[in-house]
Amino acid sequence: MSLHRSHRAVAIHGRRTGVHARGVVLIEILVAVVLFSIGVLGLIGVQIASMKNVGESQYRVEAAMLANSLAAQMRTSPAATRATDFASPGGTRYATWKNSVTSTLPGASATPPSVDTSTYPTVTVTITWRAINDTATRQYVATTTLD
């Protein structure tokens, strides 16, 4: 009886080694690369969404600051002329404030801001804008009561 070994290498527990094992390792590496790529693409998507939200929040903050600026101007102006000077669209001080809004916020000139003094001393300020490359119109509304 002669002991003849096959040309195929057999590892412990009967598993094949060599070409078959190299193929399995290659498939495992390819699956790992695909999963890693999907994870990286997901992170890129989250980063893009985060940058968009930062831009939108910047415009909201600017709109709030502009509305607060108008309220402060109204409080420091003579009480007798507040309602007429700041009323939109014809108030003289409104026109100056409107120019600062339209120069600060993108797309604000399409829908000019409004100042409702019909329920004076309660005043409602509405600022509308549309960010560049954005289809949605954003709006900030502030209501204040003047002393």
* The pLDDT of residue 4: 53
pLDDT tens per residue, range 53-111 = 777 888 999 999 999 999 999 999 988 888 888 888 888 899 999 999 999 999 998 88
Query: Mean pLDDT over residues 36-54, rounded?
Result: 89
Distance (Å) of CA 11 to CA 20, 22, 28, 50, 71? 12, 14, 20, 52, 83
* The pLDDT of residue 19: 59
Q: Is the pLDDT of residue 2 over 60?
A: no
Using 50, 70 and 90 to split pLDDT, how confident is the model at 133?
A: confident
Query: Mean pLDDT over residues 131-141, rounded?
Result: 88
Q: Is the pLDDT of residue 42 over 80?
A: yes
Kindly report the three-state secondary structure assignment for every residue of 85-100.
Answer: HCCCCCCHHHHHHHHH
* The pLDDT of residue 43: 94
* The pLDDT of residue 37: 96
* The pLDDT of residue 135: 86
Between residues 80 and 35, the one the model is more confident about: 35
What is the value of pTM for the model shown?
Answer: 0.66
Parallel, antiparallel, or unpaired for β 122-129 and 114-119?
A: antiparallel
Residue at token pair 């709109």: 63
